[in-house]
Amino acid sequence: MDDDAFMLKALLRTAKRLRPHWLFYGCEQAKDWVSLAEEIAPLDMIICDYQMPEINGEQVLRQATISYPAAVRVLLTGDTSEDIVTRVCQFSHHIVGKPFTEQNILEVFQCVERLQRLPFVAASRARLGQLQDLPVLPDLVTQLREILQNPDVELAQVAALLEHEPAIAAKLIPLANSAFMGFARPVTSILEAVLRLGSKLVEAIVTLHSLEQQFCTKVTPAEHFQITEWAFKHAIYSKKLSQYAGLSLTEQDLAFSAAIFSAIGRLIEISFHGFDLKEKKLTPMIQSGFLNSTLISVYILTLWGHSETLCEVLLWQDTPSPEGNAVEKLSFVLFLAKQMLLVKQDTEIAELQDIIESSSLLAAFNRLLAETGSLNNDVK
């Protein structure tokens, strides 16, 4: 909806050209949107201008959060300043600058389609859609992703972007020097660390650390440290298991990234008022069979446009299944890596060994198990 008739027509033309089989409805008078929505519900998406007379886009999308929580909420605005973006993230999933491009709208449509394909029941979609204060993709990560989209990018450009971020450097360099990474010679510069870790790992690490400011008022420093350090250890174990099992470098990086990103849902979960500190979980569960933090992470990463494969690997990490296709194998790797951090008894280790079907993955599991005693303290 948009009170500018020209802009509304342009939006509808673009939308119908991109998805001719979808049904789109325009609303020029924002005060009439409720009655129109009731006629055409259910809604999969609501796109609304920010500045409108009588009722603005913020009010419309706040109402939509209650009335149509499963719908993807998109705000059109000519003001994409940090203050506006930070405020509107409480009720919108996407912020599209005006004038918009066809690519902007296409990305939103692809997000809607991907959310529809996720195995969420209707009640889960509604509850996830009602989450408040969702994290905004940090500006640093947006800049990093824009650089990495260039097929001719040199990692020196990535290092140049990050070298003015001491907190990022303080994590990247020690991680690149970790014995678990398998390099003998230590690195001392951000460029060396970026070259050693590669673009995918760097993006995951930068994303998690760049979110710290958004959670600083909702999660205590101790809680934030505990969650992120757990995620890094889980990620390193996942990468090493993948490596020892003979998986490709792309698969190793995917396992690492999925484990890192799982912390996002955990940070959001612990910031909720409904979080039970004693039980360490939200009650009730969003959807039976899945951890709330996992569902939240997948939901956020889908909104941010991360690959479907990464989201699938993350989604099934707590539901071990036969090691069939690539997604199942990587999900199982994440599951095993997580269990290695949780179990303490030999009998529990033996139970894990019994469910591993692949001889290569079993050998990888045993190898990492043997290494963790001497290298565990190195994973910081």
Paired tokens of 144: 């990093």
> How does pLDDT run across 129-140, given as a tens digit for each residue?
888 667 877 778
- 130 lies in a domain? no
Q: Are 316 and 241 in contact (CB under 8 A)?
A: no
Give the percent of the chain with pLDDT over 70.
Answer: 88
Find the CATH number of the domain harbouring 48.
Answer: 3.40.50.2300
Q: Name the DSSP class of 192.
A: H
> How does pLDDT run across 203-219, given as a tens digit for each residue?
898 888 888 777 877 78
What is the reported pTM? 0.85
Answer yes or no: do 147 and 17 share one domain: no
- 128 lies in a domain? no
Q: What is the mean pLDDT of the chain?
A: 83
Answer yes or no: do 293 and 339 share one domain: yes
What is the residue range of 93's domain?
Answer: 5-117
| Cβ atoms within 10 Å, residue 203 | 21
Answer yes or no: do 109 and 239 share one domain: no
How far is the C-alpha of 341 from the C-alpha of 8, rounded, in Å? 53
Paired tokens of 6: 């020209």
The last residue of one of the domains, among 87, 117, 147, is 117
Of 141, 288, 123, which Cα lies nearest the Cα of 205? 141
Answer yes or no: do 100 and 175 share one domain: no
Provide the domain count of the chain. Answer: 2
Would the pLDDT of 378 be above 70? no
Answer yes or no: do 95 and 29 share one domain: yes
